[in-house]
């Protein structure tokens, strides 16, 4: 089973159903004990290469916290330091470079933590400058940024709780639907971006009714992607993925959470209205 997030499905660590993901690893679902079998000390991990150990949920949480911390810190600096005349270049540059680097990382077999940090910094520039522009559009109501952050955290938390406590099953059909919907949504945004460069406005990325509709669709798709990503991280942990793969999981979750925040912010701003 593959995640719709290309960051996660690029590594065999998150596809344990395809046999042994790593040399010496037990196939997914056949591990007789927490670390590989009865009587095996925790220090002797199965599934990870020699000299390493399998990643844990704590590893993913820590790495994701670090990555999101970089996004927030750089975002705060960009908000305060980027002059008005450079807002548009910084916004577009951060978005395009972050997208390009995300593609590189998504299709890399081996995750590079340094590049993950660079990606997080670029997203920070994009979100910091973009958030400042949206706040200015609302007449200086900076409170919507805090509201968007809280809404993102609550939505992600509720999604995780629903996944865990309602035992949501990620079926192939559900997965296929989310993948197709996400690809279609991304394709529409890409076409809209090109049209915007040509001077054609569709309203999709604007702050009107069409922008509100697409922002709401973006939030819904982000939630569905979170469900798939939570499932794939859980499978990676069970399959004994190497500890370093926690950076890939953190990257994938950061991509989705940034997407979720940006659409939450747009929704709040549109509902708040501009001055």
Residue 20 has pLDDT above 60, yes or no: no
Contact 272, 138 (CB under 8 A): yes
For 156-183, the pLDDT digits (tens) are 999 999 998 888 888 889 989 998 998 8
Q: What pLDDT, in 10s, does the model give residues 74-85?
A: 999 999 999 989
pLDDT at 117: 97
pLDDT score for 169: 84
Q: What is the pTM of this model?
A: 0.81
* Ranges of each domain in the chain: 54-272
Of the CA atoms within 13 Å of residue 207, those in its CB half-sphere come to: 17
- How far is the C-alpha of 233 from the C-alpha of 22, rounded, in Å? 16
- Compute the 3-state secondary structure of the chain and give helix, strand, coil in percent, each to the nearest 5: 70, 0, 30
**Do the Cβ atoms of 252 and 8 come closer than 8 Å?**
yes
| 55-109 residue pLDDT tens | 899 999 999 999 999 999 999 999 999 998 999 999 999 999 998 999 899 888 8
């Amino acid at each position: 089973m593959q995640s719709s997030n290309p960051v996660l499905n690029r590594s065999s660590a998150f596809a344990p159903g395809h046999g042994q993901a790593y040399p010496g690893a037990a196939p997914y679902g056949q591990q007789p004990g927490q670390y590989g079998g009865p009587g095996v000390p925790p220090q002797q991990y199965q599934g990870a290469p020699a000299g390493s150990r399998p990643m844990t949920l704590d590893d993913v949480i820590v790495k994701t916290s670090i990555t999101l911390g970089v996004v927030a810190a750089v975002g705060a600096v960009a908000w305060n330091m980027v002059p008005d005349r450079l807002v548009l270049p910084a916004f577009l540059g951060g978005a395009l470079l972050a997208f390009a680097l995300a593609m590189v990382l998504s299709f890399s077999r081996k995750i590079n933590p340094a590049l993950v940090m660079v990606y997080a910094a670029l997203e920070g520039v994009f979100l910091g400058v973009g958030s400042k522009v949206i706040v200015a559009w609302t007449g200086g109501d900076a409170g919507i940024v805090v509201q968007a952050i809280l809404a993102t955290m609550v939505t992600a938390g509720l999604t995780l709780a629903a996944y865990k406590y309602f035992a949501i099953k990620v079926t192939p059909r559900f997965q296929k639907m989310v993948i197709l919907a996400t690809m279609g949504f991304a394709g529409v945004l890409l076409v809209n971006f090109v049209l915007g460069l040509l001077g054609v406005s569709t309203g999709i990325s604007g702050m009107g009714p069409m922008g509100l509709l697409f922002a709401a669709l973006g939030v819904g798709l982000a939630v569905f992607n979170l469900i798939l990503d939570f499932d794939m991280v859980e499978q990676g942990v069970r399959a004994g993925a190497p500890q370093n793969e926690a950076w890939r999981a953190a990257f994938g979750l950061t991509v989705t959470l940034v997407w979720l925040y940006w659409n939450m912010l747009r929704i709040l701003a549109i509902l708040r209205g501009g001055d």
